[in-house]
Structure 1
Amino acid sequence: MKSDPVLYVFDLDGTLADTAGDLMGTLDHIMLGEGFAPTPLEDSRSLLGAGARALIVRALEAQDKEVSPERLNDMFERFLAHYETRIADESRLFPGVVEALDALEQRGGLFAVCTNKVERPAKLLLEKLGVADRFAFICGQDTFGIAKPDPRPLLKTIEAAGGEVRRAIMIGDSKTDIATARAAEVPVIAVDFGYTDLPVSEYAPDRIISHFSELPDAAAAFFAASEGGKDDVMAG
């Protein structure tokens, strides 16, 4: 008797793809246009991960600056418009992503994305990177009007992708992803090469991987099919 498929729900920026160059380049374009200083690329690990609006706010805070809600909204809208013009100029999938998806798919795995990126650029980026069709559902910050770390985007993504919570696993790179998975009572694997100000081990994910080649075996630790077709979810 074949076990139910596992749904792998991925974060996007810092997990599936290294997008810092295009995001920070867009941020500098907006900040310089507003008369603010550019932001060093090396600061991206602590600034990225919560969406474009939060990125702008964090960059302003780093300069001890503050703008009105109206001005912030205008900067956010112009950020989105400019970002789409260069969305994959420098962005690339992390090494081993395609091979990991192939291996997991051979095991019957299904895939979805749950990101704090706005849905339209999230889909556009995945199309440019040639993997959009691998995902049964792509959830952005505005898809359900709720952002991570609220668990509802993850839970709704699992449902929309045709998965089940008991057979789902989150793969992310940050405190936000781990908190989201914990709140949804879904196991979480963290990559250690993403965008986080502290080492991801500080947030106690269930597993940590340093390359996508490690993902299939790390995920298998949670979903080991027993004889007779029943599954044991193993938290480790």
Structure 2
Amino acid sequence: MAFPVLDRPDTSTSVRHAVIFDLDGVVVDSFAVMSKAFAIAYAEVVGDGPAPFSEYRRHLGRYFPDIMRIMNLPPTMEEPFVRESYRLADEVRVFDGILEVLLTLRVRGLRLAVATGKSGPRARSLLDRLGLLPFFAHVIGSDEVARPKPAPDMVRHALDLLDVPAERAIMIGDAPTDLASAQSAGVASAAALWAPPEDVDELLASGPDVVLHHPTDLLALCPAIPAH
């Protein structure tokens, strides 16, 4: 299934100064690790039976404790899930094209941030292990705002830290919660399709301003910031 790359008319003449990235499914392919960690946590806390990872993945973008509440699973699954996520972190890979995008955006003068459903310490640890942490001026986790995604708090906090107005930023996400957070904050939203979402139709129904098939598609929307 193919979708066009779309730009929204009302921001096409606005030079973007910042890009806010979701982490899982956008910067890193961590789904295999998540699946293993979730299965181990489920077995330890709930017991035998298939772990409902497909349902869990549909809620990605939200904070883990919030997902547990939505799925009516024990909140005590968080400790073994986080433990195993750290243990398996070396199996996480960076998506093809992401390094090129980050390098190019930085050379063009844009400021970059991450807004993720992970906790801040876990997100920064993973990015540091992958050698990507220096690219981001700020990495914000769900435990570092009053209301995580889909509320706008995380995106607004990123804008404040970056000192960039909403109309000069764009957020890249692979889940409806990412797009909702961006839209509520008044930021252009882009749907990332390089890691096929659990439900592409649901993601597109969330009304992204831009649909991106590959990380490098973003570069056409983020030209160099003019020198003053």
- Give the TM-score category using the shorter length: 0.7 to 0.9
1:18 aligns with 2:18: no
Partner SS for 1:142: helix
Return the offset for 1:160.
1.3
Aligned to 2:177: 176
Q: Which has the larger radius of gyration?
A: 1
The match for 1:147 is: 148
Cα gap change, 1:55 to 1:18, in 2 (>3 Å): farther
Shift of 1:45: 4.4
**Equivalent residue number for residue 31 of structure 1:** 42
Cα deviation, residue 75, structure 1: 1.9
Indicate how the Cα distance of structure 1 residues 41 and 149 shifts in structure 2: closer, same or farther if over 3 A, else same: closer
Measured against aligned partners, the alpha-carbon deviations of 1:97-136 in whole angstroms (never above 9, x if no partner) come to 0101111122111100011111111111111111011100
- Supply the distance in 1 between the matched residues of 2:37 and 2:109 (Cα, whole angstroms): 38
In the alignment of these two chains, the number of paired residues is 212
Q: Does 1:77 align with 2:89?
A: no
Q: Secondary structure at the match of 2:147?
A: coil
Q: Unaligned regions of 5+ residues in structure 1, if any?
A: 230-236
Q: 1:209 aligns with which of 201, 209, 212?
A: 212
Q: CA RMSD in A?
A: 2.6
Are the aligned partners of 2:192 and 2:211 in contact in 1 as well (CA < 8 Å)?
A: yes
- Residues 1:25 and 1:78: Cα distance change in structure 2 (over 3 Å): same
**CA distance in 2 between partners of 1:94 and 1:101 (Å):** 12
Q: What percentage of aligned pairs have identical amino acids?
A: 29
- State the partner residue of 1:192: 193
Q: Contact 2:16/2:170 (CA < 8 Å) preserved in 1?
A: no
**Preserved CA contact (<8 Å) 2:106 2:135:** no
